[in-house]
Amino acid sequence: MSFLLIIHYQTPNALRSGFITVLTNRIGDVMILLSLILIFNQIN
């Protein structure tokens, strides 16, 4: 939800920064999910 704080200022730069924040968070979430899948596959 940190992107909501960033885009609150309603400037083009803040909007761009909010988009980068969302994109970075989603990439991090996918990487965590992939690492958990790999760990569980190694255990079984």
pLDDT of residue 42: 94
* Both tokens assigned to 16: 């761009």
pLDDT of residue 3: 65
pTM assigned to the model: 0.72
Residue range 1-44, pLDDT digits in tens: 676 776 677 788 888 888 898 899 999 999 999 999 999 999 87
Q: Dihedral of CA 9/10/13/19: which sign? A: positive
